[in-house]
Structure 1
Amino acid sequence: MRSSFSCIYLYADESGDTGLTASPTKYFILSSLVVHETRWRDFLNDIVTFRRHLRATKGLKLREEIHAAPFITNPGALVRIRRNDRLDILKQCLDFLSNRSDIRICTVVVNKTTKQAGYDVFENAWQALIQRFDNTLRNRNYPGAFADQRGLVLPDNTDGGKLTTLLRKMRHYNPVPNNVAHQTVGAGYRNLALQSVIEDPFMKDSAHSFIHQLVDVVAYAARQLYEPNAYMRSKQGHNFYARLRPVLNAYANRAHPLHLVQL
């Protein structure tokens, strides 16, 4: 008889671009949020309640997308909501997430200024995120300690073909540097092929996904740690990511106080 397994969904979104030359950003940010299948419906229902609260108190309609970067600097029709209120919406999004016990957040940060020509920002960031996802799954370290965990990747619109190719490759070849923690002698790499991430990535459009809109806010807050714009710095926005401390995946990087994976 086959053993049953439970599925954990990883929602991911990006901030910044992957270009190394003539790029307006120095960092590429890839953030993710995971939630177990048995908690997904409650999570979504709570988000809808939260969005209704924002509609009642801030005038943000449920059909209007929270896209953090333009939300602050180029809001378009949302200019009708005062800038301070738009900033408060972002803070409330982060606080809504930080008060949950059924999710975990992980962020990969690529410092593009230190990379040589030919470095693939997209592939390295996603490889690092998927590795952490798979490792946390196989060690059953997500909330609930469900046995035999499996994971499904649901990115916001990105280079789906490239991501699918990468994930398929990692199921067979996933080189990870040797280190003392794994009691491996000498330098070199181990092939830790993915064990717990199933299927190809399923692309989502954040305009139609409340969960992805929250992850977009997470990625934006992470980016403000490294290159805050003038307005966010004046409002202490470069400290917003720390509001997520209770739900950060500590297994991603125990050495960093905010468990950021820095490349």
Structure 2
Amino acid sequence: MYLCYVDESGDTGMSGSPVDRYILTALVVHELRWLSTLDQIAEFRRHLRERYGLKLREEIHAYEFINKPGKLARIAKSLRLHILGETLRFMATLEDVSLFHVSVAKAAKPQDFDVFGTAWQYLLTRFHNGVDKQSFAGPHNASEFGLVIPDHTDEPQLMKIQRKLRRYNPIPSRFGGYRDYPLRLLVEDPVHRASIHSQFIQLADVAGYFLKQSYSPAAYIKKKGGRNWIDRLDPIRYRVAAPASARAVKEI
């Protein structure tokens, strides 16, 4: 089974929103490599504790790291940025994970555009494609299924979307019209996890934050040369999901 950890960046608001994009970041790992990958993450977190004083139980949440550090203000802002940079470099070494994004640009879309539903439909379909083709990094079983594990979001709405797509999922055909591609390999409803309890979701959060910075960098990130740090993740990008994108991003 493939496990798909998902984190959101931005919001879905079409009016009065301070952000112009809604981004979903997916980090996929196979059950056969889940524990060994978690062990690698734990070793990396011990390194961060020894070098920067970041406790194992403290969450890596990129936006808060830079803008609202709270108790983490004991670590200098420049060092908090170094932690995020090291996290990206560490992620790039994980040979058994795959990373992809869905990015919705809200500008020029009608006010009734369904940002949340559209983004999640693309993400779930692309994850299902990878499960079906067994094309994610790492090993695979003779037959495969997938489980979606997002950070807390609009749980009822996401459950409704996945249940519908499991039965009916019309997608455009290159021969014209549509074909039905139900997501029958995704088991259960999405199983939500608070990011503070999931090291995998925290990694997805950092990746999503720096993808957002590549579009519209914050002044501090731009000053420190971090606008294109997302490119450090090139080794783990799942290009099958978005072959036309250099950053494995489905642009909507």
Paired residue type of 1:236: G
**1:224 Cα deviation after fit:** 0.6
Q: 2:107 is matched with which residue? A: 113
Question: TM (normalized to structure 1)?
Answer: 0.93
Aligned with 1:104 (options 98, 102, 120): 98
Q: Does 1:176 align with 2:171?
A: yes
**1:145 Cα deviation after fit:** 5.1
Q: 2:61 is matched with which residue? A: 67
Listed one character per residue, the Cα deviations across residues 156-184 of structure 1 (whole Å, up to 9, x for unaligned) are: 011111111100000111121122xxxx2
Q: 2:228 is matched with which residue? A: 239
Q: How does 1:1-263 map to 2 (within 5 A)?
A: 7-144=1-138, 146=140, 147-179=142-174, 184=175, 186=176, 188-263=177-252
Listed one character per residue, the Cα deviations across residues 7-41 of structure 1 (whole Å, up to 9, x for unaligned) are: 01000001101100000000111001000101111
Structure 2 residue matching 1:251: 3-state secondary structure: coil
Checking the alignment, whether the CA contact within 8 Å between 2:167 and 2:184 is kept in structure 1 is no
Checking the alignment, whether the CA contact within 8 Å between 1:27 and 1:226 is kept in structure 2 is no
Unaligned runs of 5+ in 1: 1-6
Is the deviation greater in 213-222 or in 189-198? Answer: 189-198
**1:143 Cα deviation after fit:** 2.0
In angstroms, what is the RMSD of aligned CA positions? Answer: 1.0
Unaligned runs of 5+ in 2: none
Q: 1:3 is matched with which residue? A: none
Residues in 2 aligned to 1:250 and 1:119: alpha-carbon distance in whole angstroms: 27
Structure 2 residue matching 1:86: 3-state secondary structure: helix
Report runs of 4+ in structure 1 exceeding 2 Å deviation. none
**1:191 Cα deviation after fit:** 1.4
Paired residue type of 1:208: H
Structure 1 residue matching 2:167: 3-state secondary structure: coil
Residues in 1 aligned to 2:134 and 2:149: alpha-carbon distance in whole angstroms: 20
Is the deviation greater in 137-146 or in 97-106? Answer: 137-146
Listed one character per residue, the Cα deviations across residues 227-255 of structure 1 (whole Å, up to 9, x for unaligned) are: 11101111222201111111011111111
Percent identity (aligned): 44
Question: TM (normalized to structure 2)?
Answer: 0.97
